[in-house]
């Protein structure tokens, strides 16, 4: 996309950012999150289009992108962690769970 | 702004001038396809339904086939029937005839079998095509444009660039008095509250919540987590983790204007503005629903590179993923690049101009290579 920035944060409420390039473990990002400067060191590789955490997210808490809930964390997530299906689950369309929703 | 379209009865305007050869039942698909191979300018509609289904599904198939026959990109229609199927070819023909366009039928069992039906059907379609070729394009205001919007084979660039840009094109069309159709109810899950807040009336908001709940209940009745089916394996590889994330990116393609009504699958829409059709997101069923609703042109936003068009509605493929655009020149019409001084609004303006150009006759990649001859009709109950 020819963007200078390496990640995009879509809403000030978000606790994840989206990578606009293939990012590597140990890369350091200087970001502005909700008006505050923040330095995030990546704990894992994050491919183009995938997500990284901007803050600590305890298990069973909402993961937020576009300012809206996109799922629930299933493990402790540290700032700079790769966020994907290994540590977040959907709360919807869950026919495998009692009552159909988490 | 304006485009060059074909005048049709009942005040409708077409972007193409095909004769539709529409199969009424899966068993008539072969003859339907053969007929379209004989006469230039014909478009087949093949599907897997029309027989041994419960009445609500047979009604849905009948309704969909009638609405497809009304699509203004068709100058005339030939129905191809086997003869013993559950849906009634005469009822479908009568429904399409109300559009004021020529309609005829060929029934394989009455014609004396497939080759006789092929010959009979080919003669009918030849005459219709010669008549249709006399209709000339005329200038119409863009308020006559009916645009479908779709996203498929999505990755994270869909929600960031190509969907919002498609949404900006939708907003322009609505501001100019035109019509835009979207759907993919499964991909409202987790974003339905955002759409409901844009409903023109409380009843429309209630309908939005209702169709999402209905779709989610069908999914949950299968007793499994729908991840893998939605989001798909490809979506997940592209960075989308949950259906909620996919939905929040997906709804951006329908812009920001008020939603005027919610239609059932296979219904032909009336009036102008922004509308929802209740349909799953899968391409063969979705594209049929939007064609049945009356779309002349479809903008299709993709991240990973969805190939399919539709037999008689041009589908413009747009991507914000440079790798996909470079890798799949067979399938992608437009690359939309954020950055380089482009805003979403400017990209939306360019997409809108492309939609008008395609409505006026510019061919899409899917039309040029003939990709998209295997759509389907969405049904709910069992095959019995």
Q: Judged by CB atoms within 8 Å, which residues 326-345 of B form the interface with A?
A: 337-340
Q: Is residue B382 part of a domain?
A: no
B11 and chain A in contact, CB less than 8 A? no
Residue B201 sits in the same domain as residue B266: yes
Q: Is residue A86 part of a domain?
A: yes
User: Which residue range(s) make up the domain with A88?
Assistant: 7-97
Residue B208 sits in the same domain as residue B323: yes
Q: What is the DSSP letter of B28?
A: G
State the count of interchain CB pairs (< 8 A) between A and B. Answer: 111
Q: How far is Cα B82 from Cα B84, in angstroms, rounded to an integer? A: 6
Residue B94 sits in the same domain as residue B239: no
Q: Is residue B12 part of a domain?
A: no
Residue B272 sits in the same domain as residue B338: yes
* Predicted complex ipTM: 0.93
pLDDT value, residue A32: 85
* Interface touch A90/B338, C-beta < 8 Å: no
Q: Is residue B77 part of a domain?
A: yes
Boundary of a domain, candidates B132, B165, B189: B132
* Interface touch B320/A91, C-beta < 8 Å: no
Tokens of B266: 């296979």
Mutate to test the interface with A, among B154, B155, B156 (most CBs of A within 10 A): B156
A66 and chain B in contact, CB less than 8 A? yes
Residue B92 sits in the same domain as residue B157: no
Residue B233 sits in the same domain as residue B351: yes
Residue B120 sits in the same domain as residue B169: no
For residue B81, give the CATH number of its domain.
3.40.50.261
Q: How far is Cα B52 from Cα B253, in angstroms, rounded to an integer? A: 37
A96 and chain B in contact, CB less than 8 A? yes
Rounded to the nearest angstrom, the minimum Cα separation between A63 and chain B is: 10
Q: Is residue B54 part of a domain?
A: yes
Q: Is residue B62 part of a domain?
A: yes
B55 and chain A in contact, CB less than 8 A? no
Residue B202 sits in the same domain as residue B346: yes
A36 and chain B in contact, CB less than 8 A? no
Boundary of a domain, candidates B96, B113, B132: B132
Whether B256 and B182 have beta carbons less than 8 Å apart is answered as no
Q: How confident is the model at residue A5 (pLDDT cuts 50, 70, 90)?
A: confident
| Mean per-residue pLDDT, A16-22 | 93
Q: What is the 3-state secondary structure (H, E, C) of B158-224?
A: HHHHHHHHHHHHHHHHHHCCCEEEECCHHHHCCCHHHHHCCECCHHHHHHHHHHHHHHHHHHHCCCC
Q: Is residue A13 part of a domain?
A: yes
Residue B85 sits in the same domain as residue B208: no
Q: Is residue B278 part of a domain?
A: yes
Residue B169 sits in the same domain as residue B124: no
* Out of A2, A8, A85, closest to residue B236 by CB: A85
User: Which residue range(s) make up the domain with B93?
Assistant: 18-132
For residue A15, give the CATH number of its domain.
2.30.130.110
Q: Is residue A1 part of a domain?
A: no
Boundary of a domain, candidates B132, B159, B176: B132
Q: How far is Cα B97 from Cα A55, in angstroms, rounded to an integer? A: 62
Q: Is residue A2 part of a domain?
A: no
Q: Is residue A90 part of a domain?
A: yes
pLDDT value, residue A97: 86
Task: Look at residue A2 and tell me whether its pLDDT is greater than 50.
Answer: no
Q: Is residue B376 part of a domain?
A: no
pLDDT value, residue A100: 56
Chain B residues whose CB is inside 8 A of the A89 CB are 242
Q: How far is Cα B242 from Cα B233, in angstroms, rounded to an integer? A: 11
Q: How many CB atoms lie within 10 A of CB B56?
A: 10
Residue B193 sits in the same domain as residue B101: no
DSSP string for residues in B234-256: HHHHTT--SHHHHHHHHGGGG-S
Number of domains in chain A: 1
One pLDDT digit (tens) per residue for chain B, 384 residues: 999 999 999 999 999 999 999 999 999 999 999 999 999 999 999 999 999 999 999 999 999 999 999 999 999 999 999 999 999 999 999 999 999 999 999 999 999 999 999 999 999 999 999 999 999 999 999 999 999 999 999 988 898 899 999 999 999 999 999 999 999 999 999 999 999 999 999 999 999 999 999 999 998 898 888 888 889 999 999 999 999 999 999 999 999 999 999 999 999 999 999 999 999 999 999 999 999 999 999 999 999 999 999 999 999 999 999 999 999 999 999 999 877 677 899 999 999 999 999 999 999 999 999 999 999 999 999 999
Mutate to test the interface with A, among B154, B216, B245, B321 (most CBs of A within 10 A): B245
Q: Is residue A75 part of a domain?
A: yes
* Interface touch B190/A69, C-beta < 8 Å: yes
Residue B243's closest chain A neighbor by CA? A90
Number of domains in chain B: 2
């Amino acid at each position: 996309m020819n963007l200078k920035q390496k990640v995009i944060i879509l809403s000030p409420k978000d606790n994840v950012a989206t990578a606009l390039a293939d990012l590597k473990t140990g890369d350091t990002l200087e970001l502005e999150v909700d008006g505050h400067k923040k330095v995030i060191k990546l704990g894992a590789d994050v491919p183009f289009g995938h997500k990284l955490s901007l803050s600590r997210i305890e298990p069973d808490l909402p993961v937020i992108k576009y300012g809206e809930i996109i799922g629930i964390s299933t493990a402790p997530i540290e700032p700079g962690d790769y966020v994907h299906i290994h540590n977040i689950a959907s709360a919807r369309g869950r026919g495998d769970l009692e009552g159909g929703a988490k | 702004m304006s485009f060059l379209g074909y005048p049709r009865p009942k005040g409708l305007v077409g972007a193409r001038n095909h004769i539709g050869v529409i199969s009424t039942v899966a068993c008539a698909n072969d003859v339907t396809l053969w007929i379209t191979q004989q006469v230039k300018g014909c478009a087949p509609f093949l599907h897997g339904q029309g027989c041994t289904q419960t009445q609500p599904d047979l009604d849905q198939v009948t309704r969909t086939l009638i609405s497809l026959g009304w699509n203004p990109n068709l100058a005339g229609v030939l129905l191809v029937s086997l003869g013993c199927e559950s849906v009634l070819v005469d009822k479908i023909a009568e429904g399409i005839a109300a559009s004021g366009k020529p309609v005829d039928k060929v029934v394989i069992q009455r014609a004396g079998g497939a080759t006789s039906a092929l010959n009979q059907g080919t003669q009918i379609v030849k005459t219709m095509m010669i008549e249709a070729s006399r209709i000339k394009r005329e200038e119409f205001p863009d308020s006559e444009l009916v645009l479908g919007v779709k996203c498929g084979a999505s990755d994270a660039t869909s929600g960031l660039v190509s969907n919002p840009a498609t949404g900006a094109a939708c907003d322009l069309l609505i501001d100019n008095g035109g019509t835009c159709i979207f759907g993919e109810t499964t991909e409202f899950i987790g974003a339905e509250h955002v759409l409901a807040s844009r409903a023109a009336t409380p009843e429309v908001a209630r309908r939005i919540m209702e169709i999402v709940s209905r779709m989610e209940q069908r999914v949950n009745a299968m007793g499994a987590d729908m991840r893998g089916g939605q989001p798909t394996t490809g979506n997940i590889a592209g960075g989308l983790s949950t259906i909620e994330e996919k939905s929040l990116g997906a709804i951006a393609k329908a812009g920001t204007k008020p939603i005027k009504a919610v239609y059932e699958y296979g219904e032909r829409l009336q009036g102008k503005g922004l509308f929802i059709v209740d349909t799953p997101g899968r391409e063969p069923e979705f594209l049929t629903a939007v064609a049945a609703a009356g779309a002349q042109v479809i903008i299709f936003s993709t991240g990973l590179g969805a190939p399919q068009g539709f037999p008689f509605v041009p589908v413009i493929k747009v991507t914000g993923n440079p790798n996909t655009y470079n890798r799949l020149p067979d399938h992608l019409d437009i690359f939309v690049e954020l950055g380089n001084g482009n805003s979403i609004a400017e990209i939306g303006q360019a997409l809108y101009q492309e939609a008008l150009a395609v409505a006026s006759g510019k061919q899409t990649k899917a039309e040029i290579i003939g990709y998209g001859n295997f759509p389907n009709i969405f049904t709910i109950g069992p095959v019995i």
